[in-house]
Amino acid sequence: MESKAFLERLRKFDAYPKTLEDFRVKTFGGATVTIVSAILMFILFVSELNFYLTKEVQPELFVDISRGNIKMKINLNITFNNLPCAFLSIDAMDISGENQIDVEHNLYKQRLKLTGEKVEDEPEKHEELGDKSEELVEGVKKELDPNRCESCYGAETDDKKCCNNCEEVRDQYRKKGWAFKATDSIIQCKREGWADKMEKQKNEGCNVFGYIEVNKVGGNFHMAPGKSFQQSHVHVHDLQAMGGEKMNMSHTVHHLSFGEEYPGIVNPLDGLHQIDQKICAIQSKLT
């Protein structure tokens, strides 16, 4: 008895009382509401599912407080359509302006024909950063007398009376402020095939690829025509060897990225194609 009264009372809470089958009427209004709400429900379901399935990328900036020997990689793959590899020098400097020695690198230069085909199959490893052109000379040096003293062609100074390779003649000329053209009359240069190398590669392009590892401090790296050197704490590029020719620095950046790769990263310079009319240098600033 008691439980029956309880169930009766419970029934009062039914917010959706059913009508008898006979009293049900199907109206057009009701059908419209049903269809519209079904469509709305479907749309909501799909959009919510879509929202749930999309990855959300949250960019985050934080200060890198790691110190010491952790280096940052700069990956690059750049093609210079009209600039021979022999002319191109690549330097990396950090905030001190001089610290190029410490840069580990793994850069290769691939000579290209003007049409874009490769000249040699094996790309050549780029010489030392902050380039001393030492390797170029290495092969020749071995057979020569290490104590020899060759002429500087009038550019001798008190502290330097011998120029045993093209490089030294060049340096002496520079100190004197003379224009230097690597002609065959300078025996050191002829021996080293300096002029040859310049001449042979005259109508070529160059693809530079690989990576350099730099300290995580402010600095820059750049690619420019001409041998680079340091003079009175100023970084200079010597363009004399090119005999005043106009350089076409047109280049395509296939890839340029900093640090490790991760999926979804967009490198803003990838695919950049720059056509130039004048001598110029590209610079990239790291901070």
Per CB under 6 A, residues contacting ligand NAG are: 77, 81-82, 209, 248, 250, 254, 275, 277
What's the CA gap between 188 and 172, in Å, rounded?
13
Q: How far is the CB of 266 from ligand NAG (least distance, A)?
A: 16
Task: Provide the 3-class DSSP secondary structure of residue 67.
Answer: coil
228-234 contact pairs (CB < 8 A, 24+): 228/89, 228/91, 228/130, 228/131, 229/171, 229/174, 230/98, 230/130, 231/174, 233/97, 233/98
Query: Of 81 and 133, which CB lies nearer to ligand NAG in the complex structure?
Result: 81
What's the CA gap between 250 and 99, in Å, rounded?
28
What's the CA gap between 16 and 101, in Å, rounded?
83
Query: Of 49 and 275, which CB lies nearer to ligand NAG in the complex structure?
Result: 275
Query: Of 133 and 248, which CB lies nearer to ligand NAG in the complex structure?
Result: 248
Query: Of 98 and 245, which CB lies nearer to ligand NAG in the complex structure?
Result: 245
**Cα separations in angstroms, 130 against 94, 125, 225, 260:** 12, 14, 13, 24
Q: How far is the CB of 128 from ligand NAG (least distance, A)?
A: 21
Q: How far is the CB of 255 from ligand NAG (least distance, A)?
A: 6
Query: Of 85 and 155, which CB lies nearer to ligand NAG in the complex structure?
Result: 85
What's the CA gap between 157 and 191, in Å, rounded?
23
Q: Are 250 and 242 in contact (CB under 8 A)?
A: no
What's the CA gap between 285 and 287, in Å, rounded?
7
Q: How far is the CB of 283 from ligand NAG (least distance, A)?
A: 19
Q: Which residue is nearest to ligand NAG (CB)?
A: 254
Query: Of 70 and 275, which CB lies nearer to ligand NAG in the complex structure?
Result: 275
Q: How far is the CB of 278 from ligand NAG (least distance, A)?
A: 8
Q: How far is the CB of 269 from ligand NAG (least distance, A)?
A: 13
